Chains A and B, each alone.
Chain A
Amino acid sequence: MSRVDLVQVTKTYPGGVKAVDGVSLTVEAGEFMTLLGPSGCGKTTSLRMIAGFEQPDSGQVLIGGKDVTRVPPYERDTGMVFQSLALFPHMSVLDNVMYGLRMRRVPRPEAEARAKEMLALVQLAGYEQRRPHQLSGGQRQRVAFARALAVNPSIFLLDEPFAALDAKLRDELQVELRRLQQRLRITTVFVTHNQREAMTLSDRVAVMRDGRVEQVGTPQEVYEEPATVFVAGFVGMTNLFKGHVVAQDGGFVRVRTAEGFEIAGRPPRTNGAPPQALAPGQPVTVSVRPEALRLVQAGAAGAVGEAGAVGEAGTPTARESGEAAGESNGTGGIPVRVDMVRFVGELVEYHLFTPGGQEILCTYQRGQAAPAVGQGAQALVRVEPGEARVLWQ
């Protein structure tokens, strides 16, 4: 169990593509850290630099506080699970799991005992003599875990190991992986482009883009307090409204969207720096999660031109909420047309369109009192106070 530090690491591939661009990241001992991002964001290259398969052009890689930047992979003491798993097809399951121990010259009886122990840990006792091709996808995955962990490495590395599995199996193995990781208390770096996977597995998530780390934080932080527009859009579903600052009062920033509606939201994350006042007119983006939006019936009159006009035309509920919002944070509601209502099991999704044609997604949990608006209906959407976040553009 050791910590990992990437210090100002940069890697440029021949052809001038900067795969990793000045990344600094610390993974605490025993922590499960996920590098999350779209393909080409540098997450796999970062992982491969920790494993020693790639050399950074500049910067340092530290494992347990020791500089291993120039140490070859076979002396780094990491256990890696590859995207293709890379199980040795010419060896039995037992020989695969024993491989690392044998390479470390552990005597055979001892190595065999340890390998069997690992196989039992991943619930594969009895499969010792099988060949990898005789196993199911999930079993192969578990052999790869056992093989990487059998040598008791100080760092556990995983490169999109679940990419090839179907959703149900993936879920099962994720739970198993997390359990394994917590049981062994091993420092783990996990690479994925699947934000759901990142959220459910990790202690902390590093969201990467174009070779840089955009935000590091707990899954909850990254979801609820995205630092950038990219993070807000990549981690979970969100509705983004471009606009400019009207004023900042109290804890909220009032933003007028491009379509002319007003939304109040919490100011951008400062990442420790003192809060910066947002000047009126400053262009910003407001991110509102689908579950933070509330849908209210627009009443018989339907056609609502502007947010301010809501109170007069709406039902008592709409009027009330419109007024309340208007008073508390200067926000009315956004008139929308209901384009589609989808039932997704635990969720109900409302696909909405603003008069200007922007699509908005609004979700209700099963059991929540969902408004009785059907396809084609006119409605108002309003933001739960404090749930919108203003982001620098």
Chain B
Amino acid sequence: MRGGFPAQGAGGRLARALLVFPVGMLVVFFVVPLIMMFVVSFYRNLPGAGWEPAFTLENYVRAFSRGLYRDRLVYTLEISALNAVLCLLIGYPFTYYLVRLASPFWRKVGLTLSISTLWLTYVVRSYAWSVLLSATSGVGQLLMWLGLVDRPTGYTPGPVATVVGLVYVFLPFMILSLYGSLRAIDPSMEEASMNLGARPWRTFLHVVLPLSLPGAAAGAVMVFLLTMGNYVVPSILGQPAQWTMPVIITNQVMNESNVPFGAAMSVILLAVLGLLAYATGRLVGKARVNPYAGSRVAQGGEGA
């Protein structure tokens, strides 16, 4: 409030009045439903007849005791981690190249193109991949035409399609995050390193990489968390074996009409997400202060 509006007097009152709307929206459409979900997760499910208010832990017990749901949670964590790593491995070289383009015009074009897929909804993009990866069109035919396979193979629905779809959908977030942090590195840092005798790859290892670590970490965390919460991609491009927690939850609520159990699993997912966000937030925060903590030069392990 300090900068824009005076904190006191008519201006202050106006500012507060203006805040009522967004805060109200947040409370009505976010905080209240969240509390409702939390409350409902302790209700008792009546098969075929909805649910009744109660205080029972049976939904939570079920979520943790049944191998199926536990496996789904573990699988969700695994595929999210895999996706974060893949996005980082693909996004880093691409973004580094983009940032080092001499022409500001092509840099902007590159960045715009790489995030342009965000204009389409997950649904459209997932179905597009479902067509591309099917046996009768796209990649399957292409591989046969190239002579790499004997018969056109379909990858959808299945693990390959799920991973491809997830990478495709979340890569732009990684690129955006990396772009900012790579752009912030003064190019003369790299020149200074080379001037001091470091070959390009050592320059990358000792200067570029540590300086871009906060951006890379933030991007990886963002992709990880977004993947954990994604419903559309695994449900369209995956078989039941690729279903993540959000898909299972949707099934419980929509198909099984077990709202309390769905609510309980949502709370668990939310808790895991919140915990991870908090932990990585602290980690990245530390990395900002000491991004060189992991470097071998600092620890003196680089010698001959």
Contact = CB atoms under 8 A, between A and B. Distances in A.
Contact of B189 (A88, A92, A107, A147): A88
Interface in A78-101: 78-80, 82-84, 86-92, 95, 99-100
A105 interface: yes
A78 B195 contact: yes
Nearest to A100: B196
B108 to A, nearest CB: 18
Nearest to A77: B197
B158 interface: no
Interface residues of B, number: 27
A95 B195 contact: no
A73 B210 contact: no
Interface stretch (B124-132, B166-174, B243-251, B295-303): B295-303
Contact of A80 (B192, B207, B291): B192
B70 interface: no
A343 interface: no
Given A84-B186, A91-B292, A103-B202, A74 B194 contact: yes
A107 B195 contact: no
Contacts of A86: 186, 188-189, 191-192
A82 B192 contact: yes
A199 B12 CA distance: 59
Interface string B266-304: 000000000000000000000000111001011010111
A89 B194 contact: no
Contacts of A100: 196-197
B301 to A, nearest CB: 9
Contacts of B194: 53, 72-74
A107 B303 contact: yes
B187 to A, nearest CB: 9
Given A107-B303, A107-B304, A151-B197, A102 B191 contact: no
A105 B303 contact: yes
14 contacts: A73-B194, A74-B195, A74-B199, A82-B192, A84-B188, A86-B188, A86-B191, A87-B192, A88-B192, A88-B193, A90-B292, A99-B196, A102-B297, A148-B196
Given A51-B191, A100-B197, A108-B300, 14 more contacts: A53-B191, A73-B195, A74-B194, A80-B191, A82-B191, A90-B291, A91-B292, A102-B297, A102-B303, A103-B198, A104-B197, A108-B303, A147-B192, A151-B196
